[in-house]
């Protein structure tokens, strides 16, 4: 039970970032390797507003999300939009450059020491396992947020329009759908989700300037395993990978040995690779489609 809860905590964090990335990479087909840094921007700005400026918690969260959205918008206008129509791989280079710039800026502005937001609140005991009120809240809010997003995209008229834009931007523009604006909207949505991930990180763990890239990599793993273009798939797989990671080190395998904790990430990624050999289109991807 504790294992399951630990997995849900880690999975919620991963799913927030993966859900955002699924919009950009999965739906739009564009790479954004600076997404991990945007996670940090959202987290650090919230920490700064709440911990240093003394703003109310809700206002601080709003500020963090706005800052994350703003940085994502700038990312789109300066580092993605001028390039991705020429070749869809060009933003890999430009966003890596941006990630380095943001890493440096975060280090200069916020320093090297770990920053965290602590809300207090008690510990609950559920079926012999322990979870704090804050963690439970984070898990529920994440699941709600992501469900609304995935439902909108896959099961409503707006979602259909967005997916149409991606499939054929010129054709939908002739139907009066503003393709460019929708691209931008998708991109900013991913930044907002990433910022939420950063706030989650600040509340549950802590923020340091160096952890951005590993966040990005985990999100890509979830998307690839989930099937490109499927937001539900990315979310489910982010949770699945997190649970797998916890199970690998937490279970006393065959009552004889524990997998050393250093292998936690490696084994989980190895399982994904094996899974993809068997099912290359991912868990929810369909065989014929390609974006």
Partner 1 sequence: MLCALSVAACKPTSSTEPIKIGFIGPLTGDAAALGVDILHGIQIAVDDANATGGIDGRQIQIVAEDGRCTGADAASAAQKLINVDKVVAILGGQCSGETLAIAPIAEAAGVPIISAISSNPDVTEAGEFIFRVYPSDALKTVVMAKYFAVQGWDKVAILSTNADFSVGFRDALKADLPAGFIFDEVVDPTAKDFRTVLTRLTGQDFDVFVPNSHANAPMALMIEQFREQGLTQPMVSHDVADTLDVIAAAGDAAEGLQSINVPTIEADTDFGQDFITTHGQPQAGMFFAAFGYDAANVLLEAIRNMGDGPLRDAIAATDRHPGVVGPISFDENGDVVGVSYDLKEVQNGAYKTLRALPL
Cα 122 to its chain centre, rounded Å, is 27
CB of 172 to partner 1, least distance (A): 42
Mask 189-208, x = binds partner 1 (CB under 8 A)? ------------x---xx-x
The burial class, CB within 10 Å (0-12 / 13-18 / 19+), for 199 is: buried
Q: Toward partner 1, which CB reaches closer, 22 or 134? A: 134
* CA gap 64, 2 in Å, rounded: 31
Q: Is 246 in the site for partner 1 (CB under 8 A)?
A: yes
CA angle 165, 232, 245 (to 5 degrees): 135
Q: Is 249 in the site for partner 1 (CB under 8 A)?
A: yes
Q: Which of 55, 90, 141, 211 is close enough to bind partner 1 by CB under 8 A? A: 211
CB of 280 to partner 1, least distance (A): 28
Q: Is 132 in the site for partner 1 (CB under 8 A)?
A: yes
Q: Is 169 in the site for partner 1 (CB under 8 A)?
A: no
- 43: helix, coil or strand? helix
* CA gap 169, 180 in Å, rounded: 8
Q: Which of 56, 114, 121, 178 is close enough to bind partner 1 by CB under 8 A? A: 114
Which residues touch 174 (CB under 8 Å, ≥6 apart)?
none
Interacting span for partner 1 (CB under 8 A) from 15-23, 113-121, 142-150, 283-291? 113-121
- β-sheet bridge partners, residue 228: none
Q: Toward partner 1, which CB reaches closer, 53 or 210? A: 210
For the chain, first and last CA: distance in Å?
A: 39
* CA gap 76, 201 in Å, rounded: 24
**Residues engaged in binding partner 1 (CB under 8 A):** 2-3, 6-7, 9-10, 112-116, 118, 123, 130, 132, 201, 205-206, 208, 210-211, 214, 245-246, 249-250, 258, 260-262, 264-265
């Amino acid at each position: 039970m504790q294992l399951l809860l630990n997995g849900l905590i880690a999975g919620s964090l991963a799913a927030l970032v993966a859900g955002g990335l699924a919009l950009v990479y999965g739906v739009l087909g564009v790479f954004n390797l600076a997404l991990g840094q945007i996670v940090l921007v959202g987290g650090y700005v919230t920490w700064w507003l709440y911990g240093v400026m003394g703003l109310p918690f809700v206002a601080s969260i709003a500020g963090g999300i706005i800052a994350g959205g703003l940085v994502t918008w700038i990312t789109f206008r300066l580092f993605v939009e001028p390039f991705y129509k020429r070749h869809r791989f060009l933003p890999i280079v430009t966003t890596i450059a941006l990630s380095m710039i943001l890493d440096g800026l975060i280090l200069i502005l916020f320093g090297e020491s770990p920053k965290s937001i602590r809300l207090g609140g008690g510990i609950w005991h559920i079926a012999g396992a322990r979870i704090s009120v804050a963690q439970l809240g984070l898990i529920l809010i994440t699941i709600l947020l992501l469900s609304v997003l995935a439902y909108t995209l896959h099961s409503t008229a707006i979602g259909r329009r967005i997916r149409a834009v991606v499939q054929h931007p010129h054709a939908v523009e002739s139907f009066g759908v503003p393709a460019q604006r929708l691209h931008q909207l998708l991109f900013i949505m991913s930044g907002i989700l990433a910022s939420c991930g950063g706030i989650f990180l600040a509340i549950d763990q802590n923020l340091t300037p160096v952890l951005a890239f590993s966040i990005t990599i985990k999100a890509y793993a979830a998307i690839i395993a989930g099937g490109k273009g499927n937001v539900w798939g990315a979310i489910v797989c982010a949770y699945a990978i997190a649970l797998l990671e916890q199970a690998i080190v937490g279970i006393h395998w065959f009552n004889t040995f524990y997998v050393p904790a250093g292998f936690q990430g490696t084994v989980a990624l190895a399982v994904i690779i094996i899974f993809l050999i068997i099912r290359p289109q991912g868990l929810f991807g369909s065989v014929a489609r390609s974006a």
